[in-house]
Amino acid sequence: MLISRPTFHRLAPLYPMKHPFVHIVCCLVLIACSAPDSGNSETLSKEETTHFVWPTGKYLFYDDEAIYTEVWHQLENGDYIGNGYYLSNEDCDTLFSMNMRLRKEKDKTLMSYMVKGQNDNKETEFTLTNNDKNVYIFENPFRSFPSIMKYEIHGDTAMTIEQRGFDKTSHSERKRKYIIRKEK
């Protein structure tokens, strides 16, 4: 079976949603529910993947229903770990929880997601394929949506996260974009 990379020259328009972050959280759940990358994908050289600075601290996103919190720490070996959770505004119930890991291996850099209670608690991996001026693009061409995760780092104050891929339900290419801001 030949698997081709999706093209994004014709992204489907985004329609206004009442609670867009709920859809974002659902996409992250889909990430964790898929099998880890088992094939070879295009990767950067070791030299290109060793020079990155990931923000640390607590980042927040608010919507009408809940608050999303993401906390990042750097480990002694240079890798980063993060925890994300989505708490309802009404009763502070945890609607969603995940662990993230940004790590370097021999010849590649990986971003892994593991959503609590999903995919037998196995990580889903995306490989860093582009690293240019605080913009990091991670890809997993074996996934439908998202198959591309783009992080744009805005200093130490915010991150813009963009998810792209193919939506099997609507049979079209899809894109989601949101901003998380550092807690003051």
Contact at 8 Å (CB) between 69 and 76? no
Which sequence spans correspond to the domains of the chain?
43-182
| pLDDT value of residue 171 | 84
Q: Model's pTM, two decimal places?
A: 0.69
Question: What CATH fold (topology level) applies to the domain 43-182?
Answer: Lipocalin (2.40.128)
The phi and psi torsions of 30 (rounded to 5 degrees) equal -60, -35
The 10 Å Cβ neighbour count of residue 52 is 16
Residue in this structure with the two tokens 């999303």, named with its chain if needed: 68
Question: Is pLDDT above 70 for 25?
Answer: no
Please list, in sequence order, all residues whose beta carbon lies within 8 angstroms of the beta carbon of residue 91, skipping any fewer than 6 positions away: none
pLDDT band at 30 (very low <50, low <70, confident <90, very high): very low
pLDDT in tens, 58-94: 999 988 888 989 999 999 999 999 999 989 988 888 8
Contact at 8 Å (CB) between 134 and 117? no
The 10 Å Cβ neighbour count of residue 53 is 10
